[in-house]
Amino acid sequence: MLDVLDTFSALPIASLEVGHHLYWHIGNLKVHGQVFITSWIVIAILLTASVLATRNIQRVPTGAQNLMEYALEFLRDLAKSQLGEKEYRPWLPFIGTLFLFIFVSNWSGALVPWKLIHIPEGELAAPTNDINTTVALALLTSIAYFYAGFKKKGLGYFAKYIEPTPILLPIAILEDFTKPLSLSFRLFGNILADELVVAVLVLLVPLFVPIPVMMLGLFTSAIQALVFATLAAAYIHEALEGHGEEEH
């Protein structure tokens, strides 16, 4: 598959690069520079929108405040529907930031023509199409739900591993590994696949034909952000509640 793509990339019209990164060296650590560049842009967009919205808070919202209030109410409903009225407030920033960051990242990948900006190596793309980003977010989710469980029940949190029966202990332990794995790979796979499909179609037919796939990509991107945030909230809820709800 990748060989085929490489032969295509020999063509001058457009090119596909998978696995090439712009490496930055910090001490003796290597980081993917292109991921950070786009993620900073995403962060800048989020912070700018937030500051614009909250700079001058009115009772009757207008403009940016209205937009961000709409976003906030959406996130509140999301968190509330998963965590319940009582528990959702302390977790709202985490779940909300997850959603906003993934959503803006995904849409930036679908809407901003990053590929026109040339960098020395690799290419700019949505931060979420790098496995490091998605795994980082998934691991944070794992830490978050462990933290939620321990904070609520202390060491009694481990009781959920042997309830209702100790026979399920291996599966319960396995779940703690499959949760971040499925979270990160779902997001990574969807976004990378979407960008690859669009890129391949652009290679084959440069005009108009990729547009439906791009629309589908926008849809998938939004859905993936929603799925990630919802699942994170559901895992936290599970840890808070404790009685074994199976994998969603």
Partner 1 sequence: MFDFDATLPLMAVQFLILMALLNAVFFKPLSKALDERDNYIRQNYKDAEDRLAKTQELASQYERELAQTRKAAQEIVIAAQNEAQERSNQKIAEAQREAQQAREKAAAEIEQQKQEAMQSLEGQVSALSRQMLEKLLGADWVNS
Minimum Å gap between C-beta 183 and partner 1 is 14
The Cα 239–Cα 94 span in angstroms is 15
Read off the tokens for 211: 């547009």
Amino acid letter, 201:
L
Residue 240 beta carbon to partner 1: minimum distance, rounded to whole angstroms: 19
Whichever of 30 and 159 has its CB closer to partner 1, that residue is: 30
Closest to partner 1 by CB, 48 or 212: 48
Our CB check for partner 1 shows the closer of 22 and 172 to be: 22
Of 138, 148, 50, nearest in space to 100 by CA: 50
Q: To the nearest whole angstrom, how small is the minimum distance from the Cβ of residue 177 to partner 1?
A: 16
Residue number, 56 or 178, with CB nearest to partner 1: 56
Displacement of CA 202 from its chain's centroid (Å)? 25
Q: Which is nearer to partner 1, 51 or 159 (CB)?
A: 51
Tokens linked to 232: 């994170």
In angstroms and rounded to an integer, the radius of gyration of the C-alpha atoms of the chain is 21
- Give the nearest distance from C-beta 96 to partner 1 in angstroms: 6
Give the total residue count for the chain.
Answer: 248
Yes or no: say if 219 and 89 are a contact pair by the CB < 8 Å rule: no
Residues that bind partner 1 (CB under 8 A): 18-19, 21, 26, 29-32, 35-36, 39, 43, 46-47, 50-51, 53-54, 57, 59, 61, 65, 68-69, 72-73, 76, 92-94, 96-97, 100-101, 127, 130-133, 135-137, 139-140, 192
Pairing verdict, β 29-32 and 23-26? antiparallel
Cβ 43 to partner 1 shortest distance, Å: 5
Query: Alpha-carbon distance 100 to 222, whole Å?
Result: 10
